[in-house]
A and B are shown apart, each in its own frame.
Chain A
Amino acid sequence: MDATNDSRLAGETVRLSRAAFVVGLVALGGAVAYGTAHPDQFFHSYLLAFMFWNGLTVGSLAVLMLQYLTGGAWGISIRRELEAATRTLPLTAVAFLPIAFGMHSLYEWTHADAVAHDEVLLKKAGYLNAPFFLFRAALAFAIWIAIAWALNRWSREQDSSADHRAVDRKLQLLSGGGLVAYALTTTWTAVDWVMSLEPHWFSTMYGVIYMAGQGLGALALATLAVVRLSKTRPVSEFLGGRHMHDLGKMMFAFTMFWAYVTFSQYLIVWSGNLPEEISWYLARFRGGWGWVGLAVLMLQFVLPFLLLLSRRANRDPRTLTLAAALVVLMRFIDLSWMILPAFSQGHFRIHPTDLTVPLALGGIWAGLYLRNLAGRPLLPVHDPGFEEALAHGRD
């Protein structure tokens, strides 16, 4: 089969990428202008934006490694979409810098006077202190970038060489260790960047909730992209009903996994009903936030669950696109529900910047993502499982 990218498709993607850059830069200009006058509000919104877009990036890295490790035919169809997302890591690493500058607006534990009068924060200061926090963030990005760089480089080698058995082996080996590293880095970054907004509260389930959410979001985004790309060559010659069914099933599994870990944390905290634990939920149930939480439950779990239950729905590009788009949107609402109540204890308060700042970062991220996508062949035809994946989609 002819695996070269349709030239019109490439042109369209690049145009779309430019439009995204323009939207992002304009929104960024507005956000920065606003932010210089109201730094606290800006940084609150910025953290949400960063967590959302970085989550999609790192989640893509995880799903990519998961597929290399297990070698399933399902993942070959979204290989290049996931890779394109992982190559935005240098951008999200730079995008972390404003958080480093805005730490004082975000984290109570950076205030020496607050820590001095707080027994708990004093005890936690060995972990929650600015230099160690920045070191951990740098370490996480170094690990992610190194893995993403190697995976993308080897995948390119696989594309261009006839004998790539050594490369296939390396990809698989790195993915095994890389997933362990992913679990550790995602746990500590979720704890550092978001959980420590309320530094008295703690949950050991917290990192897993982020892993489930990131995997879900990344899978949904890649599904959206591949279904859209299947309208033109070369993906149109590859993607079959069974590939879409596989992606739908995988998304179904991830929403269940997300719901499972999210509910587990809630059930344990609810059962214990201890003041230092339940406070986190009270801030997220009171003053209208409860409705947001309910919407997340209904639209990130119940509705996608029902939509993706039937075989026919999974194989229908429109239903699958609808479910995937809903999931990506709800990832944002879910993160809003996790993050924003920390800044407005007990009151429902959202600010226009909670939308414009994510849009600014998102425009730039999407611009880079699309350019990455157009820059490489859309099908990994030299992957050892490619022939099998191609035949797999035909039934």
Chain B
Amino acid sequence: MSGPKLYGLMAEFENPQDLVEATRRAREAGFTRLDAYSPYPIEALTEALDIHDRKLPAVVLGGGILGGLCGYALCYWTTVVNYPLVVGGKPYHSAPAFIVPTFETTILFAAFAAVLGMLGLNGLPMPYHPVFNSPRFALASRDRFFLCIEARDPRFDHDETWAFLTKLGPRVVMDVEE
């Protein structure tokens, strides 16, 4: 095939139920590299796509633990090592006084880990994505629902996958160029 490489095949649906059903059937047919696009979040879609995210919770937990350690270390370093100062007749190393900043930095780092980790794991920011090569895809932010099966899927075969998508009852099936 000459010209630009194929990224995948995209099917357009008119309502979320059809998209969820098509996604479920595509998963059942054994496709693994696929994604669904919708103007608003659809809870059942996550389940249909069989997305199990184990990474982000671990990233957030790691961020929280790191934040706690950093907060405590900051308190310790400033009041015990760098500028020892007696406050209220307490020992330099007074754990109760350190708890509040430690708690705050735990939350702060965990929150940053959640936001940045989510962006990173999603590969954002992403200035280019092939799905936008399809002129109809702009409707994904309005009133249409899309299912895209990528060419790198091991079970992908242009004609067979095209026939498979057509059977799911979409409005239209189209090629998406790389």
Contacts and interface: CB of A to CB of B under 8 A. Distances in A.
Contact of B88 (A266, A273, A309): A273
A266 B96 contact: yes
B119 interface: no
Contacts of B100: 267
Interface string A350-387: 00000000000000000000000000000000000000
A359 to B, nearest CB: 36
B99 A271 contact: no
B159 interface: no
A267 B57 contact: no
A311 B99 CA distance: 26
A263 interface: yes
Nearest to A310: B57
Q: Is the interface of A mostly helix, strand, loop or mixed?
A: helix
Contacts of B47: 395
Interface in B83-97: 88-90, 96-97
In the complex, which range does the number of interface residues on chain A fall in? 10 to 19
Given A395-B43, A395-B47, A271 B97 contact: yes
Interface residues of B, number: 12
Contacts of B99: 263, 267
A309 to B, nearest CB: 8
B89 A273 contact: yes
A375 B78 CA distance: 62
A270 interface: yes
A266 B96 CA distance: 9
Contacts of B57: 310-311
A267 B98 CA distance: 10
7 contacts: A263-B96, A267-B96, A267-B97, A271-B88, A273-B89, A311-B57, A395-B43
Q: Which 4 A-B pairs have the closest CB atoms?
A: A270-B96, A267-B96, A395-B43, A271-B88
Given A267-B96, A270-B96, 18 more contacts: A263-B96, A263-B99, A266-B96, A267-B97, A267-B99, A267-B100, A271-B88, A271-B96, A271-B97, A273-B88, A273-B89, A273-B90, A309-B61, A310-B57, A311-B57, A395-B43, A395-B44, A395-B47
